[in-house]
Structures are given as structure tokens and as C-alpha cells.
């Protein structure tokens, strides 16, 4: 029985939970041996850890652990801000897989694990004696998940992959060129890493479900290039969805250079009328009731074909009121709109404050840090933050003791 206190939130109907430091998620009882590092892999195993899985993070003893420990200012010297965000709820042990004794310890831990997870190139893992066949010999029922850069059957299989490389190769960086008419750009976030990490977490859950249904353990490869290309091409195949295609790539609305927050008297706002009646009402509220009767804007198809002109008209209208005036007015008329927040403003967003999205935690080591609440709500088996990000090798005794 999970021991937590429950009190109804006044916002959104979601329960607020006061945690006692215990795992409460639906993956309790699942053990993950995690040899991943940097962003993609840790982002995936973070989700599993938040959901209650026991995640044992095996870090490279020779290299000082996960490289993200040293990235960015931090009060401890080995808990860089990205590392701290991605590795809460995990246990750390530092081992050198090239050392026979440490390799044997990893395989011993694998015997008790449900999932063996890594984002090292497969040739390297096989040289270390930690390929799928090696781990399967130790645990025939293991779910072995390899986060690769590229699928094993293609000519890029042995190449290294990083977020920038995948944004460029997938065509994603070209969207900025198509939109702005200038040079291609990378999105200012590690979007390819994190999207691929979502695929990897989903792959773990699917393979565990298959095993629970009697299909046994298996080898699972999550190729970053293919995952991210799939992700962004869903809408951006556009005019080439049906062969032979018309040569037009990218969802018309997505790459329009005027698709951006609109100026107001005192800032910016996001406004997205969608249904016909919302568009008509928006222009009435803006004091321009005749705009919606313009044949360029009166139907969904026409609006797609004339998006640039439509967005320009919204910009002219939005500048007539303050942000707060627009938000109140549009909300009262059921027209989707949100205030534009700069990064620091997000901390003060009233909705995120009400749902306790950012929590300042006091670590046992004596420092405080912001923890981001797991965003998915489970009524019976809620996710939780029950452990601070670990210092390197912090859990050696507990981990090795539990493997005996």
C-alpha cells in the first residue's frame, strides 16, 4: 500500500499529493539497469524512474561519470543543471566496463533487472562483452533497449549521432530556411534528443507489456534518425503524402514567417481562432467585422491558402489592446489565447503555480534545486519525485549489496 496523503486541488480537479519519499508510480517492481548518458537516454529513464521503476545508473568510472555532471554551474561540482533535471529518482554506481571484475558486476546486476538500457554504439558494447547476446545469457528474459543513432540496416549504422546532426539530416533544420528565406537553423532546444527519448521510454513500456503477455524478453533498437524524422514528417510530408506529390513540403501554417506571438499595447499574445465562428467573433471584437467576409478568410481552405495575409491582419488587430485586455476578452468569448511568457515569467504563471509544477527541494547534501513535476496524472498510481539526483557512485554499497 502506498503511503501518501491526498488532498483535492482547487485547480483543474487534479489531486495534490504530499510525498513521503517513497515510489508510488505504476512501474513499481520494475528494475532498469541504465548505462545511458548525456540527454536522450537519461530523458527516457527519467520517465521510468518518475513512474516508480528502480533505475540503477551505471556511470563510467574512468571518465568521471556522465559528462553532463560537469556541464553548467552547480553548487556541488558534479550535478550540472541538466544532469540534475534528468537524473532524479535514480541510483548511481561508477563502474569500468572494460575491467573484467566490473563487467562481471554489471552482468550480475543484469540478472535481477527487467530492462538493460544504453545509448552506446553497439559495436562498443559488444567489444565490452555487454551486447545483447551477452546480457541475454545472464538473463534470458531481459528487455534489452539500445538507443542508436541510426538503424542497423542502413549505411549510417556505425556513425555517431548528436542532436544537431539529426536536426540537419532529418530535414527539420530546413523548416527554418523555408520559413524565413535565410539559412537553415537548429531549434534552440535539444528537440531530437528528447523526442527520441520519448520513443525510447515508450519502447520500454511496450516491450515490458509484451513480456507480461508471455512473449518473453527481446532486443529493442530505438534509432534516433528514424524516430525524429518520423516525428517531424507527420505533418511536413504535406503535399507529398500521396505519390507522386506536388513537391510542396511542410504544413503551410507551420512555416509561415508570421506564425509568431502577436504584438499588443504592452507585450505579446498568442491567439489561435480555429473554428469559423471563432474567427468571425475575433474580428468583431477587434472592431473589424467585415474582415471575415473577405473571400480570402471566410473558409478554412481559403485561410490556409492566404495564411500570411491572415496573420498580418491579426497583428494589426492585436496591437489595439493590452495583453491582459485581450486575454480576458478572448477567454470570455471562448477564443483560444494565451499570454506570451518570457522564460523567467514561466515561474510566475498562475496555472503552473496552482499545480505545483516547479518545486524547490532541499537536498540532503545541503543545497536547494528546482524540480519539475512529472506532468502526467495517474489517479491510482501517481508519479512522484522521491529521490534527489545522485552524486557519482553514491549508491555503490546498496546496489552491490542487492546483487548478492
Per-residue pLDDT of 21-65, as tens digits, reads: 788 999 999 999 999 999 999 999 999 999 999 999 999 999 899
> What pLDDT, on the 0 to 100 scale, is given for residue 300?
85
> What pLDDT, on the 0 to 100 scale, is given for residue 1?
28
Question: Which class does domain 262-339 fall in?
Answer: alpha beta
Residue 290 or 81, more confident: 81
Least confident residue range of 211-225, 272-286, 337-351:
272-286
> What pLDDT, on the 0 to 100 scale, is given for residue 292?
82
> Mean pLDDT, to the nearest integer, of 186-202?
98
The answer, yes or no, to whether residue 118 has pLDDT greater than 80, is yes
CA-based angle 207:37:160, to the nearest 5?
90
Tell me the torsion sign for CA atoms 364, 365, 369, 373: negative
Which residues are within 8 A (CB) of 34 and not within 5 positions of it... i.e. 6 or more apart?
Answer: 41, 42, 45, 55, 56, 57, 58, 90, 117, 118
Per-residue pLDDT of 358-379, as tens digits, reads: 999 999 888 999 999 999 999 9
CATH architecture of the domain covering 5-232+354-402? 3-Layer(aba) Sandwich (3.40)
> What pLDDT, on the 0 to 100 scale, is given for residue 13?
40
Residue 4 or 181, more confident: 181
> Mean pLDDT, to the nearest integer, of 330-344?
97
The answer, yes or no, to whether residue 275 has pLDDT greater than 80, is yes
Q: What's the chain's average pLDDT?
A: 92
> Mean pLDDT, to the nearest integer, of 268-286?
93
> What pLDDT, on the 0 to 100 scale, is given for residue 403?
55
- Determine contact, residues 223/149, Cβ cutoff 8 Å: yes
Per-residue pLDDT of 211-256, as tens digits, reads: 999 999 999 999 999 999 999 999 999 999 999 999 999 999 899 9
Per-residue pLDDT of 89-99, as tens digits, reads: 999 999 999 99
Alpha carbon 217 to chain centroid, angstroms: 26
| Span(s) in the chain for CATH 3.40.50.10540 | 5-232+354-402
Q: Which of 326, 306, 345, 188 is nearest to 263 (CA)?
A: 326
Residue 69 or 9, more confident: 69
Of all residues in the chain, the percent with pLDDT exceeding 90 is: 84
> What pLDDT, on the 0 to 100 scale, is given for residue 23?
84
> What pLDDT, on the 0 to 100 scale, is given for residue 90?
98
Q: Which of 188, 42, 49, 6 is nearest to 117 (CA)?
A: 42
| Span(s) in the chain for CATH 3.30.1540.10 | 262-339
Q: Give the model's confidence band at 20: pLDDT under 50 very low, under 70 low, under 90 confident, else very high.
A: very low
> What pLDDT, on the 0 to 100 scale, is given for residue 12?
38
The answer, yes or no, to whether residue 10 has pLDDT greater than 80, is no
The answer, yes or no, to whether residue 9 has pLDDT greater than 70, is no
Which residues are within 8 A (CB) of 174 and not within 5 positions of it... i.e. 6 or more apart?
Answer: 184
> Mean pLDDT, to the nearest integer, of 287-314?
88
- From CA 194, how far away is CA 228, in angstroms rounded? 9
Residue 353 or 293, more confident: 353
Amino acid at each position: 500500500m502506498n503511503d501518501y496523503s491526498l488532498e483535492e486541488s482547487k485547480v483543474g480537479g487534479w489531486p495534490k499529493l504530499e510525498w513521503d519519499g517513497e515510489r508510488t508510480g505504476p512501474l513499481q517492481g520494475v528494475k532498469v539497469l541504465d548505462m545511458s548518458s548525456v540527454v536522450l537516454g537519461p530523458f527516457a529513464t527519467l520517465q521510468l524512474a518518475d513512474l516508480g521503476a528502480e533505475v540503477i545508473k551505471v556511470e563510467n568510472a574512468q571518465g568521471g561519470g556522465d559528462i553532463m555532471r560537469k556541464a553548467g554551474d552547480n553548487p556541488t561540482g558534479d550535478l550540472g543543471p541538466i544532469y540534475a533535471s534528468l537524473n532524479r529518482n535514480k541510483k548511481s554506481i561508477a563502474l569500468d566496463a572494460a575491467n573484467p571484475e566490473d563487467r562481471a558486476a554489471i552482468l550480475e546486476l543484469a540478472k535481477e533487472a527487467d530492462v538493460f538500457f544504453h545509448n552506446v554504439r553497439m559495436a562498443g558494447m559488444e567489444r565490452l562483452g555487454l551486447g545483447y547476446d551477452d546480457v541475454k545469457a545472464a538473463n534470458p528474459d531481459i528487455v534489452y533497449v539500445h538507443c542508436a543513432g541510426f538503424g542497423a540496416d542502413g549505411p549510417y549504422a556505425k556513425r555517431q549521432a548528436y542532436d544537431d546532426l539529426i536536426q540537419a539530416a532529418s530535414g527539420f533544420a530546413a523548416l527554418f530556411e523555408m520559413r524565413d528565406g535565410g539559412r537553415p537553423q537548429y531549434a534552440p532546444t535539444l528537440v531530437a534528443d528528447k523526442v527520441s527519448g520519448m520513443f525510447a521510454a515508450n519502447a520500454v513500456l511496450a516491450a515490458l507489456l509484451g513480456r507480461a503477455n508471455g512473449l518473453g524478453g527481446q532486443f529493442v533498437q530505438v534509432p534516433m534518425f528514424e524516430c525524429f524524422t518520423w516525428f517531424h514528417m507527420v505533418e511536413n510530408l504535406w503535399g507529398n503524402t500521396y505519390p507522386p506529390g506536388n513537391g510542396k513540403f511542410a504544413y503551410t501554417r507551420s512555416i509561415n514567417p508570421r506564425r509568431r506571438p502577436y504584438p499588443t499595447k504592452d507585450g505579446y499574445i498568442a491567439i489561435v481562432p480555429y473554428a469559423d465562428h471563432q474567427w468571425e467573433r475575433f474580428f468583431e471584437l477587434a472592431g473589424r467585422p467585415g474582415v471575415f467576409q473577405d473571400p480570402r478568410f471566410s473558409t478554412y481552405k481559403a485561410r490556409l491558402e492566404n495564411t500570411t495575409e491572415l496573420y498580418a491582419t491579426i497583428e494589426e488587430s492585436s496591437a489595439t489592446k493590452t495583453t491582459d485586455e485581450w486575454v480576458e476578452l478572448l477567454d470570455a468569448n471562448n477564443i483560444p489565447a494565451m499570454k506570451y511568457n518570457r522564460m523567467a515569467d514561466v515561474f510566475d504563471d498562475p496555472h503552473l503555480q496552482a499545480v505545483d509544477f516547479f518545486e524547490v527541494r532541499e537536498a540532503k547534501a545541503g543545497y536547494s534545486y528546482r524540480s519539475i513535476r512529472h506532468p502526467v496524472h495517474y489517479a491510482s498510481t501517481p508519479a512522484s519525485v522521491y529521490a534527489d539526483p545522485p552524486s557519482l557512485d553514491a549508491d555503490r554499497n546498496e546496489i552491490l549489496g542487492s546483487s548478492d
